[in-house]
Structure 1
Amino acid sequence: MQTAANPAIPVAVSGMTPAPRRILMVVDGRYPATGGAEMQARLLSAAFSREGHSVRVLVPHLEPERPRRETIDGVPVHRLAYPRIKGFGAILLNLRFAAYLLRHQHEFDAIHIHMMHNLAGAAGWLRPWIRPTLTVKVSGAAEFQGGILDPSLRHKLVHRLLNAGAKRADAFQCISRYTLEMMRGAGYPAAKLHHVPNAVDCARFARRGETAGTLRVVFVGRHVAVKALDVLLRAWATVRRPAGAQLVLAGDGPERARLMTLAETLGLADSVEFPGLVHDVPALLATAAAYVQPSHQEGLPNAVLEAMAAGLPVAATRISGHEDIIVEGDTGLLVPPGDPAALAGALQRLLDDAALREHLGQRGAAYVATHFAIPVVLARLLELYARPHSPVRPA
């Protein structure tokens, strides 16, 4: 039988207890926030702290209502102030970030930057003068479409400078096979590329059996074009739904109003819910019979991993990210992207077959617990942080 296991991801954690590390987590954006990179940085920071490591989070000061310093989940957060002036502000932020690293470098053993963006490039240029190891996480679409890794923008001076700096990092955390392949194509050294996925707090998504009652199919995420929720609505309109069956599109975004109008137009007002942002995702998933992710593109979707951890069967598109975690008929169902008929067929199978839902849910939960649980990912990251490196010498 085909399995979703990837040899680059260990299935067990070594019994050796690593020495406590002093870790600086850098998030190139708002913090805390609901974005995948920000939520993953928060999850890892708290988990490392609970394991006895010393962790600090460093972010730009993007929200005036937030203090320059605070503690979140028991982890200190420092925010760098800078003028919000397009172009000039980014330069000053990079300079302040560089000064911070040079001034505080002896307080850390490892620096982990959670997006391949401006701060990753700035840190790379500093690599000859800083002692901690430097790891950069590469998530996916945001970096390769409009970001510093966008192939169509490589000729631009700023992108060339940022990439040249970033290549000096010691290791790159590629969360999916797609990001690994794209980094190779961008000329990054293969020896520095490591397939280490996002982590899932499996304890928050306790395995539960399906409860009797209304069948609910759930999606959680931003309402943006790349999530293809219009395709999902068109698929749902053709599904032979049991009485009372509901499609729940949790989240918000620029597409939400258009999607609500489309649902009305398709005659789905009574069978589609738009609850907005949901803060207790485990509670929402506990009400569901299945999860659906119709995206055109993903990095490694936390929402799908969480749904699988909760024991839900998943119908998703056959794209990178989904293919990293779902095997057709074993840990979920895969369909071509942008195909309402195929997606409707997968949803129909899940609604009609309780035994299939139970099988996929059990297999998916076991797979996530084995490969994406916090202890597994922490162990892999500690390996990256401790990797010997040959510091880049200044020219």
Structure 2
Amino acid sequence: MNSENPMPHRILFVVDGRYPSTGGAEMQVRLLSRAFHAAGNRVEVLVPHLEPERSLREVIDGVPVERIGYPKIKVFGAAFLCLRFAMLLLARRRRYDAIHVHMAKNLAAIAGLVRPLLSATVTTKISGAWEFQGGILDPARRKRPFYRLLNRWVRGADHIQCVSEYTRDMLRLAGYPDNRLAMIPNAVDMSRFRPSGVAPDSVKVVFVGRHVPVKGLDVLLAAWKEIAGLGGARLFLAGDGPERARLVELCRSWGLESSVTFLGNVADVPGLLTSSSIYVQPSYQEGLSNAVLEAMASGLPVVATRISGNEDLIADGESGVLVPSGNSAAIAAALRMLIEQPLTAQRMGRRGREIIESRFSLPAVMDKLMDAYRTAVPR
């Protein structure tokens, strides 16, 4: 952290989703809230009360978490949540120095709307490409009156955090002013993710993430069918989701059961990555993938699709291999090359960790966020 500038001591993180959870935005909030708390700041987390089994207040990693209660009724429930959130911010308008909203949804719009009445700066993070495909920034939606209004309010934040070049380009096209766009990536805790220094006994290719269509796991299995058995390599899929049963059936029908293992949700992801040889990310769409960040921090060469976020992380041929999305043959060729050329794989893994340490480490990202938190943009 940069010690030359005073840090604000009162930071509120807001995430418009379940907390804690394994979602990318939620994981970043947990990582950042814990780190800023450990650095001596007064940190709080505010989220909607989406899970009845969770209490309205609890402490997670030493950080107070408050969940906003609201009636779960169609349409009007969201309006009640927004109203309650606005009232909380206004009632606490001098309580925070910085408010950081993750995900550009309704709560981000409300934070931007009430920003002129707050003493805190507001930073809103555009969490992923989904906001441009089905979210409030979707070109097919944002021209509608309701979404035009939401975008106008979101633009009221001091800073719009862009996690990738694609994100910034899309926001410019949507009319967001350059002076509010801040290029600040997701962070990774380098102390948790590191190479083991010992080569695995066999080649272990791994994926970590939700088993949903956008992750392209069926394409990965089609690629694996072409190289199954090569060098004794095995494929491990960590995570769960609605696609899992279909993927298991694909493995069975293609005769891949002996070389593909479904791990389910894994508690020790750092340990899994440390014991692996190659990471693969076949997604059709990402923001800035936490999984790829963590794999590169662990010193793994990465095979990933050439999409938003991945292109910001991976130097093709230097720290990994970028392939066209949906192209099983290209994925198979990249995996084959890394399996057959272990020295190349090791070199790419080392370079990947260097890139993450210099640009995406927790201290580097925290410094960039602190600069944003301290700076109010003129209205």
Could you tell me the TM-score, scaled by structure 2's length?
Answer: 0.97
Asked if structure 1 preserves the Cα contact closer than 8 Å seen for 2:159 and 2:377, the reply is: no
| Residues in 1 aligned to 2:7 and 2:101: alpha-carbon distance in whole angstroms | 21
CA 253–212 in structure 1, closer or farther in 2 if over 3 Å, else same? closer
| Residues in 2 aligned to 1:43 and 1:170: alpha-carbon distance in whole angstroms | 22
Q: Give, in angstroms, the shift of residue 209 of structure 1.
A: 2.3
Aligned AA for 1:68?
L
- Once the two structures are superposed, what CA deviation does each residue of 1:215-274 show, in whole Å capped at 9, x if it has no partner? 110000011111111110010110163454210111111111111111111110111011
1:257 equivalent to 2:231? Answer no
Asked if structure 1 preserves the Cα contact closer than 8 Å seen for 2:8 and 2:97, the reply is: no
CA 339–19 in structure 1, closer or farther in 2 if over 3 Å, else same? closer
Tell me the SS of whatever aligns to 1:55. strand
1:221 equivalent to 2:206? Answer no
1:91 equivalent to 2:117? Answer no
Q: Give, in angstroms, the shift of residue 210 of structure 1.
A: 4.0
**Match in the other structure for 1:50:** 38
**Match in the other structure for 1:348:** 336
Tell me the SS of whatever aligns to 1:323. helix
| Residues in 1 aligned to 2:77 and 2:123: alpha-carbon distance in whole angstroms | 25
1:108 equivalent to 2:96? Answer yes
- Once the two structures are superposed, what CA deviation does each residue of 1:112-145 show, in whole Å capped at 9, x if it has no partner? 0001000011111112211210110002222111
**Match in the other structure for 2:150:** 162
Task: From 11, 35, 38, give the equivalent of 1:23.
Answer: 11
Task: From 344, 353, 356, give the equivalent of 1:365.
Answer: 353
Q: Give, in angstroms, the shift of residue 15 of structure 1.
A: 5.0
| Residues in 1 aligned to 2:137 and 2:15: alpha-carbon distance in whole angstroms | 18
- Once the two structures are superposed, what CA deviation does each residue of 1:26-55 show, in whole Å capped at 9, x if it has no partner? 010110010000000110000001111111
**Match in the other structure for 1:69:** 57
| Residues in 1 aligned to 2:141 and 2:180: alpha-carbon distance in whole angstroms | 23
| Aligned residue runs from structure 1 range 1-395, under 5 A | 14-239=2-227, 241-242=229-230, 244-391=232-379
Asked if structure 1 preserves the Cα contact closer than 8 Å seen for 2:16 and 2:107, the reply is: yes
Q: Which runs of 5+ in 1 are unaligned?
A: 1-12
Deviates more, 1:145-154 or 1:72-81: 145-154
**Match in the other structure for 1:6:** none
Asked if structure 1 preserves the Cα contact closer than 8 Å seen for 2:11 and 2:97, the reply is: yes
| Residues in 2 aligned to 1:263 and 1:78: alpha-carbon distance in whole angstroms | 43
Q: Which runs of 5+ in 2 are unaligned?
A: none
Tell me the number of residue pairs that the alignment of Structure 1 and Structure 2 aligns.
379
| Residues in 1 aligned to 2:220 and 2:7: alpha-carbon distance in whole angstroms | 48
Tell me the SS of whatever aligns to 1:67. coil
Q: Give, in angstroms, the shift of residue 333 of structure 1.
A: 0.9
Tell me the SS of whatever aligns to 1:23. strand
Asked if structure 2 preserves the Cα contact closer than 8 Å seen for 1:210 and 1:289, the reply is: no
Asked if structure 2 preserves the Cα contact closer than 8 Å seen for 1:240 and 1:348, the reply is: no
Could you tell me the TM-score, scaled by structure 1's length?
Answer: 0.93
- Once the two structures are superposed, what CA deviation does each residue of 1:316-337 show, in whole Å capped at 9, x if it has no partner? 1111211101111111111111
Asked if structure 2 preserves the Cα contact closer than 8 Å seen for 1:22 and 1:110, the reply is: yes
| Residues in 1 aligned to 2:57 and 2:265: alpha-carbon distance in whole angstroms | 26
| Residues in 2 aligned to 1:204 and 1:282: alpha-carbon distance in whole angstroms | 6
Tell me the SS of whatever aligns to 2:70. coil
Q: Give, in angstroms, the shift of residue 17 of structure 1.
A: 4.7
Tell me the SS of whatever aligns to 1:126. helix
Asked if structure 2 preserves the Cα contact closer than 8 Å seen for 1:122 and 1:166, the reply is: yes
Asked if structure 2 preserves the Cα contact closer than 8 Å seen for 1:139 and 1:179, the reply is: no
Aligned AA for 1:79?
R
| Residues in 2 aligned to 1:358 and 1:141: alpha-carbon distance in whole angstroms | 30
Tell me the SS of whatever aligns to 2:304. strand
**Match in the other structure for 1:7:** none
Aligned AA for 2:143?
H
Asked if structure 2 preserves the Cα contact closer than 8 Å seen for 1:20 and 1:52, the reply is: no
Tell me the SS of whatever aligns to 1:206. coil
Q: Give, in angstroms, the shift of residue 181 of structure 1.
A: 0.7
Tell me the percent identity.
Answer: 55
Asked if structure 1 preserves the Cα contact closer than 8 Å seen for 2:200 and 2:276, the reply is: no
Tell me the SS of whatever aligns to 1:320. coil
Q: Give, in angstroms, the shift of residue 386 of structure 1.
A: 0.8
Aligned AA for 2:157?
A
| Residues in 2 aligned to 1:389 and 1:21: alpha-carbon distance in whole angstroms | 20
Aligned AA for 1:218?
V
| Residues in 2 aligned to 1:388 and 1:203: alpha-carbon distance in whole angstroms | 32
| Residues in 2 aligned to 1:388 and 1:194: alpha-carbon distance in whole angstroms | 13
- Once the two structures are superposed, what CA deviation does each residue of 1:302-356 show, in whole Å capped at 9, x if it has no partner? 1001000001111111112111011111111111111111110000011111101
